[in-house]
Amino acid sequence: MDRFAPYVFLRGLASRWDVLAFIVVIGLIVFLGETSRGLFAPLSQLNLTPLSLDPIHLPEYAARTTFRMLAGLFLSLVFTLTYATWAAKSERAGKLLVPILDILQSVPILGFISVTVVFFMSLAPGRVLGAEFAAIFAIFTSQAWNMAFSFYQSLRTIPLELMEAAESFRLSPWMRFWQLEVPFGMPALIWNMMMSMSGGWFFVVASESISVGHTTVTLPGVGSYIALAIEQKNLHAIGWAIATMLIVILLYDQLLFRPLVAWVDRFRVEQEPGVRVPDSWALTMMRRSRLIQGATVAFHAAVMFTSRAVKRTDKPIEAAAPKRSLDLLWVSLIVAAVVLGLWHIVWVLIKNTPLQEALNVCGLAALTMLRVFILIALASLVWVPIGVWVGMRPRAAQIVQPVAQFMAAFPANLLFPIAVYGIVVWKLNPDIFLSPLMILGTQWYILFNVIAGASAIPAEMRYAAANFRVSGWLWWRKVALPAVLPFYVTGAITASGGSWNAAIVAELASWGDTQVRARGLGSYIADATIAGDFHRIVLGIGTMSLFVVIINRLFWRPLYYYAERKYRLT
């Protein structure tokens, strides 16, 4: 608002923030141009310029991987703003859309890739674009569902008075969406975006080198670089790739998420004073630079302009009572679709699957489940005490918390070759020693949730415990563990879900031409994918989804509500 800073144009031609911003913006443009150049090249191009393990190519590969990540993130955002809005606004649609989202969340993400890669390849036949679509879709599936969920939740919990204010000042629905609903949902949305980052990196790396049956696609990127390094047993190259990824994630964090988190702070509705405002140099740069200010002003103007263009139709806030007959029609439509779908699935699966096979798959799923639970328990034994210890010390928490979040974002599959190398060299039992890989990337959720929980213990409660000389095991039993339980459960749920996902990659790993295999549902799906056996892929993925849904409903969800009700400190 120029009224409040009237002499802005007199203050020098450009601030140093402008210079910095200029470099960043031009860099981004060059980056986009470079990475998208190859998109429309024919697929054969990939074979003409084979991947090279020379580290000099790594910046380019990293850029391509990052570009896929950004594209996936963008698609997830578009999906979130439409799907979740639809589900929240229409009672009828929501009845179906919300459960669908819930199921989609439980489907292993690599499953999506193996099933859809052929479809995407056919979208742009003979072009690299199709394979890129498949890879980007994988990232999309690792982020979209929980982002959509969070936005849906936000839309349902907008304070009534804010809705009434928007209504009584006669905002059009379009304006209300951009001025009230999107800003309100923003903090939770950004947080979820960050949380699903880890999944995103994991799968962008995994999806760059896909082979389903006879279709083998290798897109230039860090993931395929690693794949090649494994094939050629090149430990040096793997080291380079890991270093590259560390840098990429660091940049991503500094340039994208930190500014977002700092920026989104103003959208929080609960306005408690004294909470430290997150801080980001990149955001400071963006705010101080007129170049970028101009861009945000343009965006704001676009929102305003479209707000003016879309007219308001007068309608009271209360929805008219839904018509019974329409409801009935809707429900019967859903039932019909479910029956049809079920029949189809049963038909396809039963026809092609002997009972023996089905039992076998269930047994394998039980094995994987056992692994996940044991690993979660082991990780908890390690990280809960450490998390509590760190959380009680604000100074330590400030250092450890970002490190843990960073570790969670690092695609653990990059480290698999090292583990496999070790197993091969020392001839270890893969059934046991491949398992830790499943939790390598997801254990951090337990740690940083417990840290958050422990630092949220009110000081007075700790003083009271100290005052009554509660210490040792009694202190853990009566003070620390109950206080962090709700946080721990949240972390454990995320870790468990991630571990199921990782099983597909972790239970079947290779080093050169040596394959190391652990018996379980993950290796079953991986085998089926390599063989291109569509029915076994579907059977495996279906079983895994079913297991995850059932475990969530019967174990994690009740535990979560119990912990929330009994142990949440408010």
Query: Binding residues for another protein, per CB under 8 A?
Result: 1, 3-4, 159, 161-162, 164-165, 167-172, 175, 179-180, 183, 186, 266-269, 271, 273, 304, 307-308, 312, 314-318, 321
Quote the least distance from Cβ 511 to another protein, whole Å: 52
Question: Which one, 180 or 291, has the nearer CB to another protein?
Answer: 180
- All residues at 6 or more sequence positions from 548 whose CB lies less than 8 Å from its CB, including other chains: 106, 108, 497, 500
Question: Which one, 101 or 171, has the nearer CB to another protein?
Answer: 171
Quote the least distance from Cβ 353 to another protein, whole Å: 44
Quote the least distance from Cβ 182 to another protein, whole Å: 10
Question: Which one, 331 or 339, has the nearer CB to another protein?
Answer: 331
The Cα 175–Cα 216 span in angstroms is: 47
The Cα 488–Cα 384 span in angstroms is: 8
Question: Which one, 103 or 298, has the nearer CB to another protein?
Answer: 298
Give 77-90 as a DSSP string.
Answer: HHHIIIIIHHHHH-
Quote the least distance from Cβ 191 to another protein, whole Å: 16
Question: Which one, 181 or 208, has the nearer CB to another protein?
Answer: 181
| Amino acid in the structure at residue 30 | V
Question: Which one, 22 or 567, has the nearer CB to another protein?
Answer: 567
- Phi, psi dihedrals of residue 91, rounded to the nearest 5°: -55, -40
**In terms of Cα–Cα distance, which of 199, 254, 188 is closest to 69?**
199
Question: Which one, 347 or 562, has the nearer CB to another protein?
Answer: 562
CA dist list (Å): 408 to 69, 385, 491, 567: 16, 19, 12, 26
SS3 129: helix
Question: Which one, 47 or 325, has the nearer CB to another protein?
Answer: 325
Question: Which one, 274 or 472, has the nearer CB to another protein?
Answer: 274
| 3-state secondary structure labels for all residues of 276-331 | CCCCCHHHHHHHHCHHHHHHHHHHHHHHHHHHHHCCCCCCCCCCCCCCHHHHHHHH
Q: 209 pairs with which residues across the strands?
A: 218
Question: Which one, 323 or 427, has the nearer CB to another protein?
Answer: 323
The H-or-E segment that residue 360 falls in is: helix 355-391
Quote the least distance from Cβ 275 to another protein, whole Å: 10
Give 476-495 as a DSSP string.
Answer: IIIIIHHHHHHHHHHHHHHH
Quote the least distance from Cβ 172 to another protein, whole Å: 7
The Cα 377–Cα 496 span in angstroms is: 10
Quote the least distance from Cβ 555 to another protein, whole Å: 19
- The answer to whether residues 244 and 58 touch, using CB atoms and an 8 Å cutoff, is yes
The H-or-E segment that residue 68 falls in is: helix 58-79
Quote the least distance from Cβ 485 to another protein, whole Å: 16
Quote the least distance from Cβ 170 to another protein, whole Å: 5
- The answer to whether residues 111 and 206 touch, using CB atoms and an 8 Å cutoff, is no
Quote the least distance from Cβ 306 to another protein, whole Å: 12
Longest distance between any two alpha carbons in the chain, whole Å: 81
